[in-house]
């Protein structure tokens, strides 16, 4: 059996530049893998099966694990035969990229199981065909994503940074489509926020002081009924500022170290309203793409 992590992500900066002729939107976003992770394992089998520990099976045309296995098999000219097991921890449909990360993790472990010999560029091409965030998760760490999200420019790993992620019990059908529809012309920018964040990192200053941005923030607070309560609960618990991840509804704050992060989580826990609160640390590229076999240490 071969296993890998499938980390969640947050967006340090997320800008929507405009709508494309193909119906998608051009984005410019700095993404970060964190140590709230699913785990994906594969073993040899005579057909393709997928088992999960908690979440219901998605339709086959929507299941990124199944699609990833079939896409990689088609790319290398073999049958999609493997037993895939997914242990879920990342909340679904929260703006944390859990499904996309599982798809990338599936490519990573099947690449080793099947000994495909595929180049990094070939795997990225397969990943880009699966979804906008999948190429980022194939690389992990910290990266700038452009286009639909498929053009990845790796960045130097940030220093270990602690965050608190709060996932409210708020759901929305067709969330991504509706959130893009809720954007107004004033929400679009030209990429300068990503530049400002990357310049901050390049200066060596800590992330806790960095300028963060999310184009969906206004729309999210107007669309997700009650989201402001959870923002305020983080602020009242000691968060200096609260930010949206992806198109939401997950929120996060950057802490001055692990003790402060755990203190904020503890204070939020006193007035729970069904939210899930996680203390997480940023991951390096190596940590967020670790692959191991039975009997091996991860890494």
Structural domain ending residue among the three candidates 155, 180, 204: 155
Which among 63, 102, 111, 133 is annotated as catalytic?
Answer: 133
Is 133 part of the annotated catalytic residue set? yes
Residue 279 banded pLDDT, cuts 50, 70, 90:
very high
Provide mean pLDDT across the span 218-244: 96
Map tokens 């991860």 to a residue: 298
Is 177 part of the annotated catalytic residue set? no
Say what the pLDDT of residue 120 is.
85
Same domain, 118 and 254: no
> Does 62 score more than 90 pLDDT?
no
Helix, strand, coil content of the chain in percent (nearest 5): 35, 30, 40
> Does 252 score more than 60 pLDDT?
yes
Say what the pLDDT of residue 57 is.
53
> Does 55 score more than 90 pLDDT?
no
Structural domain ending residue among the three candidates 131, 155, 179: 155
Same domain, 173 and 86: no
Q: What is the CATH number of the domain that holds 237?
A: 3.30.70.890
Q: What is the CATH number of the domain that holds 147?
A: 3.30.230.10
Q: Provide the number of structural domains found in the chain.
A: 2
In a domain, 222, yes or no: yes
Full-model pTM? 0.93
Q: What is the rounded CA–CA span in Å between residue 166 and residue 81?
A: 38
Residue 60 banded pLDDT, cuts 50, 70, 90:
low
Residue 197's SS3 state is helix
Q: Are 172 and 178 in contact (CB under 8 A)?
A: yes
Which among 9, 38, 102, 175 is annotated as catalytic?
Answer: 9
Q: What is the rounded CA–CA span in Å between residue 252 and residue 280?
A: 10
> Does 297 score more than 70 pLDDT?
no
Provide mean pLDDT across the span 14-41: 92
Same domain, 11 and 149: yes
Provide mean pLDDT across the span 268-279: 85
């Amino acid at each position: 059996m071969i296993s890998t992590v499938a980390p969640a992500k947050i967006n340090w900066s997320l800008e929507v530049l405009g709508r494309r002729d193909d119906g998608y939107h051009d984005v410019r976003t700095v993404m970060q893998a964190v140590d709230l992770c699913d785990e994906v394992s594969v073993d040899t089998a005579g057909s393709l099966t997928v088992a999960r520990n908690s979440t219901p099976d998605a339709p086959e045309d929507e299941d990124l694990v199944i699609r990833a296995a079939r896409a990689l098999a088609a790319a290398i000219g073999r049958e999609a035969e493997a037993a895939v097991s997914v242990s879920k921890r990342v909340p679904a449909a929260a703006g944390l990229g859990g499904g996309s990360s599982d798809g990338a993790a599936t490519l990573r472990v099947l690449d080793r199981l099947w000994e495909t010999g595929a180049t990094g560029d070939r795997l990225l091409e397969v990943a880009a065909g699966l979804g906008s965030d999948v190429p980022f998760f194939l690389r992990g760490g910290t990266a700038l994503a452009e286009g639909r999200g498929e053009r990845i420019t790796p960045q130097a790993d940030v220093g270990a940074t602690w965050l608190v992620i709060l996932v409210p019990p708020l759901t929305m059908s067709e969330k991504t489509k509706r959130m893009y529809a809720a954007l107004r012309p004033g929400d679009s920018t030209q990429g300068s926020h990503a530049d400002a964040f990357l310049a901050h990192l390049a200066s060596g200053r800590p992330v806790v002081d960095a300028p963060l941005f999310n184009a969906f923030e206004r729309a999210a607070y107007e669309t997700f009924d009650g989201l402001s309560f959870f923002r305020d609960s983080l602020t009242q618990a000691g968060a200096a500022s609260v930010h949206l991840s992806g198109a939401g509804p997950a929120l996060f704050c950057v802490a001055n170290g692990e003790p402060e992060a755990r203190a904020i989580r503890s204070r939020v826990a006193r007035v729970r309203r069904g939210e899930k609160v996680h203390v997480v640390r940023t991951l390096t590229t190596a940590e967020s793409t670790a692959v191991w076999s039975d009997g091996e240490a991860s890494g």
